[in-house]
């Protein structure tokens, strides 16, 4: 396994490091090329010609060798060259001429400077035809993929129990508190219902229903997967006096968007909409959102159904933070075959994540009660990083792929965000003002290769990247999961050993009912919780996380991973069974508390006020009794 962890260089610093690599350690470096018209500048969106190539560079002799195959050019070939030095979206002069025809198999000795450019990913091949004399198909010369990205996530020592609080939902994906109502957690269901859930009894009632506004869910029809829907809810910090809350929804195209990346004549999949709602009597628990009070704040085109982001939270500054995905498809680029083989559209040449003229692939920060935005319906804070310079005033941070769930630490104000990866890496970021989190230049801490119309991948080679890209604070690869679910720092008191720990999750490692629950340990090391009765996984898909007014953390799940059925549930994170002294581990220190819980529950409650006799109910029967002794002994023995 090889893991690239050094800071990424750019410009002269990168060139110098690559020259040193060439002169100091001889090796045969492998490269891949995927050729298509989408990589031309401007893109040739109508050509069907494609090609693939492999190459090697002997860093001892600077011998560059290649094997290039392509076909289906729209017109006779008139020239072919390697060009350099240029990254994607930019042209460059001819570096090496090539003979006509496919395949092209050959080699050339390049200069030390050219070798550095090749290693940096600054060469490309261009095939010219009579129909496209400037180039019909192009492919960047890029390093081969890394086969093993990261070590596995270890099982930690902390044990918790996931106790069902509320059931009978569809696909709950977010839970938050409404100011002034500490005994409720407000739960967003993907199908459009915002539930008010009693945090003691689990009783639920409809607080707002926006289902009629949503696009039809199920990308391949009813019962199938979808990432659209009711994706986020946030209550204004002054909710008790102004009664305002905000939703993030996926809606049919209805009128001009405030922002779009769609080419002329190409329809978006849907529109993401931020809306404001009012509650007539916000201090009254019986008062719900007025369905006629809706005020639209912001609407933007969404190129594909996936990578929506959709999380919203008010920060310590009283402003609304909104996570937005890169628009969908794959690799954040046009031309990638997607549903039905149709090429993706709506991604700029740089990728939406890096393009500061679009809201896609960003964390936004706005004042929903302001009015200095272009549409006059919200305000842009003067301290946002692109105010007064090139870029959108709404942007707070850039370089994100699908920042599905995020949350502020209510004590430190730190904003944590889980960014769902492409093919290799899931990452957890601390979001800072003006930060660039790398996508699509990076996936996690590794360089990402957007491989034309073929699947993108990560590499550990130091290629040319912009400066100032921020690495995640923690990451795991796709041996451990496929979709990170960002969570919260636990600031509750029900489980003392979880206080101050960041708790988050994985949707489902193998797209099965195997969601996982993680925590950050010392040094931001990811560890997996030991779960009572479910030592290897949650046993369901994890769709989101929640936090109540007391700072306790909840897990949102269902059985099928799609927005259908009625298996959706809210699970409370509590002490693990067998952990009768509630210190997070099951060991010999739990023996005396276990005996006390069975013999004298009242005395146990007095001595361990943060525990309940449920910790001694090892067999889950609902009662702590002598039948729990053998299961408890098995737990102590590691069973």
Structure tokens at 405: 């769930």
Nearest to 262 by CA among 337, 342, 334, 325: 334
Dist. CA 588–CA 582, nearest whole Å = 13
Q: What is the CATH number of domain 155-167+181-437+472-536?
A: 2.120.10.30
Give the pLDDT band of residue 535 (cuts 50, 70, 90).
low
Dist. CA 560–CA 542, nearest whole Å = 10
| 2 pLDDT higher than 80 | no
| 553 pLDDT higher than 90 | yes
Strand, coil or helix: 626: helix
Residues 6+ positions from 216 with CB-CB distance below 8 Å: none
Mean pLDDT of the 183-195 span: 99
| 10 pLDDT higher than 80 | no
Give the pLDDT band of residue 442 (cuts 50, 70, 90).
very high
Dist. CA 197–CA 596, nearest whole Å = 34
Mean residue pLDDT of the chain comes to 93
Give the pLDDT band of residue 12 (cuts 50, 70, 90).
very low
Give the pLDDT band of residue 610 (cuts 50, 70, 90).
confident
* 524 secondary structure, DSSP code: G
Global pTM reads 0.93
Q: pLDDT value at position 24?
A: 52
- Pick 21 or 25 by higher pLDDT: 25
Question: For the chain, what percent of residues have pLDDT higher than 70?
Answer: 95
| 9 pLDDT higher than 80 | no
Question: What is the per-residue pLDDT across 90-102, written as a single tens digit (0 to 9) for each?
Answer: 999 999 999 999 9
Structure tokens at 2: 């090889």
Residue whose pair of structure tokens reads 């410009």 in the numeric block: 11
Ramachandran category for residue 327: left, alpha or beta (phi over 0 → left; psi -120 to 50 → alpha): left
From residue 330, how far is each of 354, 375, 465 by CA, in Å? 15, 31, 20
User: DSSP string spanning 331-351?
Assistant: TT-TT-B-GGGPBP-S--TT-
Instruction: Write down the domain spans for the chain.
Output: 11-143, 155-167+181-437+472-536, 588-636
Mean pLDDT of the 598-610 span: 90
């Amino acid at each position: 396994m090889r893991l690239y962890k050094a800071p990424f260089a750019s410009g002269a610093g990168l060139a110098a490091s690559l020259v040193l690599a060439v002169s100091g350690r001889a090796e045969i470096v492998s490269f891949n090329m995927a050729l298509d018209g989408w990589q031309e500048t401007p893109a040739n969106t109508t050509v069907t010609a494609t090609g693939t190539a492999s190459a090697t560079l002997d860093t001892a002799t600077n011998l560059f060798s290649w094997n290039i195959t392509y076909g289906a050019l729209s017109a006779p070939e008139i020239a072919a060259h390697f060009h350099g030095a240029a990254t994607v979206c930019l042209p460059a002069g001819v570096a090496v001429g090539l003979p006509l025809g496919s395949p092209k198999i050959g080699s050339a000795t390049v200069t030390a400077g050219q070798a550095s450019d090749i290693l940096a990913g600054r060469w490309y091949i261009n095939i010219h035809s009579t129909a496209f004399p400037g180039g019909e198909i192009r492919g960047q010369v890029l390093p081969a993929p890394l086969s093993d990205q990261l070590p596995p996530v270890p099982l930690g020592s902390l044990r918790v129990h996931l106790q069902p609080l509320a059931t009978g939902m569809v696909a709950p994906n977010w839970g938050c508190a409404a100011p002034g109502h500490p005994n409720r957690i407000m739960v967003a269901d993907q199908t459009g219902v915002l539930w008010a859930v009693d945090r003691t009894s689990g009783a639920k009632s409809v607080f707002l229903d926006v289902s009629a506004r949503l696009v039809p869910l199920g990308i391949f029809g009813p019962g199938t997967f979808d990432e659209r829907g009711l994706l986020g809810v946030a209550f204004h910090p002054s909710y008790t006096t102004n009664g305002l809350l905000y939703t993030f929804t996926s809606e049919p195209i209805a009128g001009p968007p405030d922002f779009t990346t769609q080419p002329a004549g190409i329809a978006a999949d849907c529109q993401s909409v931020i809306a404001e709602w009012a509650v007539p009597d916000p201090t009254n628990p019986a008062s719900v959102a007025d369905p006629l009070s809706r005020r639209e704040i912001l609407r933007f085109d969404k190129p594909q159904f996936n990578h929506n982001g959709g999380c919203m939270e008010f920060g310590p500054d009283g402003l609304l933070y909104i996570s937005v995905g890169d628009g969908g498809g794959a690799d954040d680029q046009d031309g990638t075959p997607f549903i039905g083989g149709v090429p993706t559209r709506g991604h700029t040449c740089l990728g939406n994540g890096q393009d500061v003229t679009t809201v896609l692939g960003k964390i936004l920060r706005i004042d929903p009660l302001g009015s200095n935005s272009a549409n006059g319906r919200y305000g842009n804070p003067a301290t946002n990083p692109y105010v007064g310079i090139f870029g959108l005033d709404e942007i707070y941070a850039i370089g994100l792929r699908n920042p599905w769930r995020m949350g502020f630490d209510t004590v430190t104000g730190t904003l944590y965000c889980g960014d769902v990866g492409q093919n290799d890496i899931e990452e957890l970021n601390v979001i800072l003002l003006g930060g660039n989190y790398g996508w699509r230049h990076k996936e996690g801490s590794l360089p990402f290769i957007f491989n034309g119309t073929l699947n993108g991948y990560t590499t550990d080679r130091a290629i040319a990247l912009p400066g100032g890209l921020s690495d995640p604070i923690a990451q795991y690869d796709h041996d451990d999961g496929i979709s990170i679910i960002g969570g919260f720092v636990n600031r509750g008191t029900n489980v003392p050993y979880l206080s101050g720990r960041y708790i988050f999750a994985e949707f489902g490692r193998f797209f099965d009912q195997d969601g996982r629950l993680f925590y950050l340990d010392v040094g931001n090391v990811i560890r997996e919780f030991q779960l009572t009765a479910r030592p290897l996984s949650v046993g369901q898909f994890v769709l989101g996380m929640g936090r109540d007014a007391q700072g306790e953390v909840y897990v949102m799940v269902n059985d099928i991973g799609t927005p259908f059925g009625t298996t959706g549930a809210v699970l409370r994170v509590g002490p693990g069974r067998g952990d009768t002294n509630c210190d997070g581990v099951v060991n010999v220190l739990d023996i005396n508390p276990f005996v006390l819980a069975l013999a004298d529950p009242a005395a146990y409650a007095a001595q361990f006020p943060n525990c309940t006799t449920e910790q001694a109910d090892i067999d889950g029967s609902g009662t702590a009794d002598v039948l729990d002794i053998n299961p408890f002994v098995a737990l102590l023995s590691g069973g």
